[in-house]
Amino acid sequence: MEGIDHLADERNKAEFDVEDMKIVWAGSRHAFEVSDRIARLVASDPVFEKSNRARLSRKELFKSTLRKCAHAFKRIIELRLNEEEAGRLRHFIDQPAYVDLHWGMFVPAIKGQGTEEQQKKWLSLANKMQIIGCYAQTELGHGSNVQGLETTATFDPKTDEFVIHTPTQTASKWWPGGLGKVSTHAVVYARLITNGKDYGIHGFIVQLRSLEDHSPLPNITVGDIGTKMGNGAYNSMDNGFLMFDHVRIPRDQMLMRLSKVTREGEYVPSDVPKQLVYGTMVYVRQTIVADASNALSRAVCIATRYSAVRRQFGAHNGGIETQVIDYKTQQNRLFPLLASAYAFRFVGEWLKWLYTDVTERLAASDFATLPEAHACTAGLKSLTTTATADGIEECRKLCGGHGYLWCSGLPELFAVYVPACTYEGDNVVLQLQVARFLMKTVAQLGSGKVPVGTTAYMGRAAHLLQCRSGVQKAEDWLNPDAVLEAFEARALRMAVTCAKNLSKFENQEQGFQELLADLVEAAIAHCQLIVVSKFIAKLEQDIGGKGVKKQLNNLCYIYALYLLHKHLGDFLSTNCITPKQASLANDQLRSLYTQVRPNAVALVDAFNYTDHYLNSVLGRYDGNVYPKLFEEAWKDPLNDSVVPDGYHEYLRPVLKQQLRTARL
Ligand SMILES: CCCCCCCCCC/C=C\CCCC(=O)SCCNC(=O)CCNC(=O)[C@H](O)C(C)(C)COP(=O)(O)OP(=O)(O)OC[C@H]1O[C@@H](n2cnc3c(N)ncnc32)[C@H](O)[C@@H]1OP(=O)(O)O
Ligand SMILES: Cc1cc2nc3c(=O)[nH]c(=O)nc-3n(C[C@H](O)[C@H](O)[C@H](O)COP(=O)(O)OP(=O)(O)OC[C@H]3O[C@@H](n4cnc5c(N)ncnc54)[C@H](O)[C@@H]3O)c2cc1C
């Protein structure tokens, strides 16, 4: 059966040009070509083999990760890959590793918070990987509450040094990726103390290990925090702990682009907002949003192909059974996830633009859009990672029993992905940041300050607070204005209700704590509006290719109407729509599922994933699932012998009743 495309019929049904859709998904022809070339390069290199990851011990997995990283670095140099190509290479190798934190957080922290001189010195070492760094912020006792970190950096004017110290056990750094066994350096976040005064959290570059023999430097205790969820999965990463016992570093290793300490120990505050010390988190949250569509699309690709291969029930007189993808229940679970993958792709593109824009403005000392950039990156990171983690698990269930096998690719994908709901900011804590931003914006309505950007809709409060949806028939739900108005009205009404309830409290902070759950829901409604509006905006762009726009249009309205259905309580209780209009939205949704159905396999082919990257027997391009499930089963170490180890000690005595007591 090798070589036969079991999904050929599905592919022939497609009503659009997959090659054109691939370009839209990738973002540009250039991005597509780079991704395609690098994905094939990785897939063809035996060092990047990953099908046996679950069977390796932690030590073997970790060593093989070091090997892959070293080989990748060698290939990057040999092939003279540029930054974009090197990034794609790491992405397609698809194994969490210290390099993610080195390139993803250590280098950006120095770029964002180091002076020009510091950048010159440290980046030239980091870019050549002559030093390897991590981002050491979280402590055993404090992660979300950054202001509560306990590690101290006390300036000693006698020696012109900072003394980095871990005063308590809870002050131990705990979680930083790459710290446990690899990093030679870290950007350590600590309370800056000079002249006896605490100036809060600042970043410091601290060397941790010898560049000669890799042993920890004196007065530094460092190690791995232990095995994490899932076989293989995130265990290739050495998340670590770290304690300092009065470790001295030169003054110029404080990252001083924002604020400084002089030779005399005087603290010179920054003339820019102090929140810029959180800048690396804004950057990484933006990359995490871009990455959500990768993880979700991967799971959806597996579940869609397998749903087209898998057949259950419906056979008459010995005929073939129904493909499970034809069941409306399967479509109702799968197609919104397919639509979400595309939605997150486009909102990720937009967020990248927003981040670039705010970075340029900050460079020109324009800080006006920083709060919005913080709210958008925090809120969208939270929204997209929650939906993606839930979506991967749903895809596992969509694949029935076989989805639970490691070789489906889904258990490992889930275990690798789910911590994204926690790292780089717990998802609830992040939505509360959005809620604070919304409450401020609502409070300013009527003050003459016109809301802009993603809150511009709040400027139309007079209309949005009293409007009623004009939808009269199912097709009206394909009107972008109708959809946007419903989402805007819902988001605004939920935010305004929260603000009104807050105003009943004398103490605003106490009121905020009391209303936390409602505030999170209002923040989610606002973030969903952003995603819907950016998908609609994408459709307004000049998108070529046979049938491509039609498919995107269908997916956009599946995304929006599915959300409307899922959060119907919000839409009805805020009187944005009537029960009749909700029912029309459902009718439209079913019709859209029917339109997407013949295109579903082609829509996931457009992700252009290699079988190597998917690493899934169920998601194979050729759909040749059953023989490959057997092949995988035979590879399991339990099948190395026909009679298992332990038979003579533990099975035979039971079977032969030798363990029975004499009385029995
Ligand atoms: C395409 C390829 C992609 C590959 C993607 C992979 C990338 C690599 C992944 C690697 C894997 C894992 C990495 C994980 C790394 C980490 O987890 S690092 C640790 C991250 N830690 C956190 O995120 C902690 C979360 N906590 C916080 O961010 C803050 O403490 C919190 C915002 C919750 C609260 O801050 P406070 O200062 O205590 O409190 P407030 O009073 O609420 O805020 C004060 C004002 O500051 C504003 N603010 C807060 N944060 C920011 C920010 N980041 N930027 C700008 N402004 C910010 C806030 O709005 C307040 O403003 P106001 O005074 O109201 O005007
Ligand atoms: C795989 C992984 C990799 C990581 N990598 C790094 C790294 O490289 N560097 C680094 O510095 N850190 C890293 N971290 C740490 C990570 O950033 C923190 O775990 C994260 O910020 C959450 O903080 P926490 O663990 O303190 O959670 P907690 O704040 O203790 O959360 C526990 C619960 O309390 C709730 N909660 C907390 N505060 C509030 C509040 N104000 N209001 C309402 N509810 C609240 C949360 O919603 C959650 O349900 C990593 C974590 C993981 C899991």
Strand pairing report for 267-268 and 260-261: antiparallel
Q: Whose CA is nearest to atom 42 of ligand 2?
A: 429
Which atom from ligand 1 is nearest to the alpha carbon of 237? 11
Q: What is the pLDDT of residue 663?
A: 54
The mean pLDDT value for 492-506 works out to 97
Residue 1 pLDDT level (bands cut at 50, 70, 90): very low
CA distances from 306 to 383, 594, 615, 616 (A): 27, 18, 14, 10
C-alpha 530 – ligand 1 centre gap (Å): 20
Question: 149: Cβ below 6 Å to ligand 1?
Answer: no
Q: Residue 257: helix, strand or coil by DSSP?
A: coil
CATH number for position 188: 2.40.110.10
Please report whether residue 145 resides in a domain. yes
Most distant pair of Cα atoms in the chain: their distance: 92
Please work out whether the CB of residue 290 comes within 6 Å of at least one atom of ligand 1: yes
Cite the beta strand spans of 161-297 per DSSP E.
Answer: 161-165, 173-174, 185-194, 197-207, 220-224, 240-244, 247-250, 260-261, 267-268
Cβ-in-10-Å burial (0-12, 13-18, 19+) of 566 comes to exposed
Count Cβ atoms within 10 A of the Cβ of residue 473 and give its class: 0-12 exposed, 13-18 middle, 19 or more buried: exposed
User: How far is residue 131's CA from residue 580's CA, in Å, rounded to a whole number?
Assistant: 63
Closest CA to 616 of 402, 367, 439, 350: 402
Q: Which amino acid is at 345?
A: R
Q: Does 13 fall in a domain?
A: no
Q: Whose CA is nearest to atom 54 of ligand 1?
A: 374
Write the residue with the smallest CA distance to atom 34 of ligand 1. 145
Ligand lying closest to the C-alpha of residue 437: 1
Buried b (16+ CB within 10 A) or exposed e, 69-108: beebbebbeeeebeeebbbbbbbbbbbbbbbbbbbbbbbb
Tell me the ligand closest to 422's alpha carbon: 2
508 close to 502: Cβ distance less than 8 angstroms: yes
Q: Does any ligand 1 atom lie closer than 6 A to the CB of residue 423?
A: yes
Average pLDDT over residues 321-327: 96
The residue behind tokens 């050929």 is: 8
CB–CB of 132/176 below 8 Å? no
Q: How many CB atoms lie within 10 A of CB 274?
A: 14
Query: Residue 225: nearest ligand to its CA?
Result: 2
Whole-number Å distance between alpha carbons of 330 and 332? 5
* Cβ–Cβ under 8 Å, residues 483 and 560: yes
Pocket of ligand 2 (CB under 6 A): 101, 135-138, 143-144, 175-177, 234, 239, 419, 422-426, 428-429, 432, 516
Q: What is the pLDDT of residues 39-78, one digit of tens each?
A: 999 999 999 999 889 899 999 999 999 999 999 999 999 9
CA-CA distance, 463 to 457, in Å (whole number)? Answer: 10
Q: Which two tokens stand for residue 60?
A: 């073997």
Q: Which ligand is nearest to the CA of 512?
A: 2
pLDDT for position 272: 84
Dihedral-angle region of residue 175 (phi above 0 means left; psi in -120 to 50 means alpha; beta otherwise): left
DSSP string, 516-579: HHHHHHHHHHHHHHHHHHHHHHHHTS---STTHHHHHHHHHHHHHHHHHHHTHHHHHHTTSS-H
Which atom of ligand 1 lies at the shortest distance from residue 147's CA? 38
185-194 and 152-156 strand pairing: parallel
Does the CB atom of residue 382 touch ligand 1 within 6 A?
Answer: no
pLDDT tens column, 379-409: 999 999 999 999 999 999 999 999 999 999 9
Confidence band of 661 (pLDDT split at 50, 70, 90): low
How far apart are alpha carbons 530 and 532 in whole angstroms? 6
- Give CA 420 to chain center in angstroms: 5
Minimal CA–CA distance to 564: which of 486, 470, 496?
A: 486
Model pLDDT, residue 664: 52
**370 in a structural domain:** no
Q: CB 373: neighbour CB atoms within 10 A? A: 23
- pLDDT tens-digit readout, 264-306: 999 999 888 888 888 889 999 999 999 999 999 999 999 999 9
Q: What is the DSSP annotation of 29-97? A: HHHHHHHHHHHHHHHT-GGG--TTGGGS-HHHHHHHHHHHHHHHHHHHHHTT--HHHHHHHHHHH----
Calculate how far, in angstroms, residue 368's C-alpha sits from the geometric centre of ligand 2: 28
Using the 8-state DSSP alphabet, how is residue 143 labeled?
Answer: S
| pLDDT for res 301 | 98
If one counts the domains in the chain, the total is: 1
Ligand 2 site-directed mutation target among 172, 382, 429, most atoms within 8 Å of CB: 429
What span, in angstroms and rounded, lies between the C-alpha atoms of 522 and 516?
10
Q: Read off the pLDDT of each residue in 501-510 and give the average, rounded to a whole number.
A: 96
Residue 300 has which token pair? 């959806």
The pLDDT assigned to 82 comes to 97
> What pLDDT does 319 receive?
85
Shortest CA distance to 499 belongs to which of 483, 515, 513? 515
The dihedrals phi and psi of 121, each to the nearest 5 degrees, come to: -70, -55
pLDDT surpassing 90 at residue 448: no
Residue nearest atom 21 in ligand 2 by C-alpha distance: 425
* Residue 421, amino acid: C
pLDDT tens per residue, range 600-635 = 999 999 999 999 999 999 999 999 999 999 999 999
Domain limits for position 193: 107-271
Nearest CA owner, ligand 1 atom 44: 275
* CB-CB contact of 231 with 212 (8 Å): no
Structure tokens at 220: 């530094």
pLDDT over 90 percentage in the chain: 92
Q: Assess whether pLDDT exceeds 60 at residue 500.
A: yes
DSSP code, position 317: T
Dist. CA 613–CA 608, nearest whole Å: 10
d(CA 72, CA 70): 5
Q: What is the ipTM of this complex?
A: 0.97
Q: For residue 267, tell me if it sits in a domain.
A: yes
Length of the chain: 664
Average pLDDT of the residues of the chain: 96
How far apart CA 526 and CA 493 sit, in angstroms, is: 10
Nearest CA to ligand 2 atom 5: 176
Distant-in-sequence, close-in-space partners of 280: CB < 8 Å, separation ≥ 6: 105, 108, 109, 112, 113, 135
Q: Is 177 in the pocket of ligand 1 (CB under 6 A)?
A: yes
Q: Residue 345 falls within a domain, yes or no?
A: no
Closest atom, ligand 1, to C-alpha of 425? 23
563 and 569 Cβ atoms separated by less than 8 Å: no
Report how far ligand 2's centroid is from the alpha carbon of 188 (Å): 17
Domain contains 88 = no
Whether 421 is in the pocket of ligand 1, judged by its Cβ within 6 Å, is: no
Predicted confidence at residue 52, as pLDDT, reads: 87
**pLDDT tier, 554 (very low <50, low <70, confident <90, very high otherwise):** very high
Q: Does 177 fall in a domain? A: yes
Check whether 447 has a pLDDT greater than 50. Answer: yes
Between the CA of 222 and the centroid of ligand 2 the distance, in Å, is 20
Share of residues in the chain with pLDDT > 70 (%)? 99
Question: Cβ neighbours of residue 538 under 8 Å, at least 6 residues apart?
Answer: 346, 349, 552, 556
99, pLDDT greater than 50: yes
433 CB less than 6 Å from ligand 1? yes
The pick from 374, 377, 427 for probing ligand 1's pocket by mutation, whose C-beta has the most ligand atoms within 8 angstroms, reads 374
User: Per-residue pLDDT for 430 more than 60?
Assistant: yes
Q: Compute the CA torsion angle 81, 85, 86, 90 (nearest 10 deg).
A: -140
Residue 257 in domain: yes
Contact 463, 519 (CB under 8 A): no
Is the model's pLDDT at 89 over the cut of 70? yes
Other C-beta atoms closer than 10 Å to the C-beta of 433 total: 18
Half-sphere exposure (Cβ direction) of 543: Cα atoms closer than 13 Å: 25
> 175-193 pLDDT, tens per residue?
999 999 999 999 999 999 9
Cα dihedral sign, 433-439-445-448: negative
Q: Please tell me the number of the ligand nearest to residue 138's CA.
A: 2
Q: Report the separation in Å between the CA atom of 426 and the middle of ligand 2, taken as the mean of its atom positions.
A: 5
> Is this model's pTM higher than 0.95 or not?
yes
Q: What is the mean pLDDT of residues 115-123?
A: 97
CB-CB contact of 398 with 336 (8 Å) = no
Ligand 1 proximity of 31 Cβ (cutoff 6 Å): no
- The amino acid present at 215, given as its one-letter code, is S
The reply to whether ligand 1 has any atom less than 6 angstroms from the CB of 272 is no
List, for residues 458-477, the tens digit of each pLDDT value: 999 999 999 999 999 999 99
Q: What is the pLDDT of residue 658?
A: 73
If one residue of 225, 276, 433, 442 were mutated to test the ligand 1 pocket, choosing by the most ligand atoms within 8 A of its CB, it would be: 433
Under 8 Å CB-to-CB from 484, ≥6 apart: which residues? 529, 532, 533, 536
The structure tokens listed for 285 are: 């949250």
**Residue 319, beta-bridge partner list:** none
Residues recognised as catalytic: 424
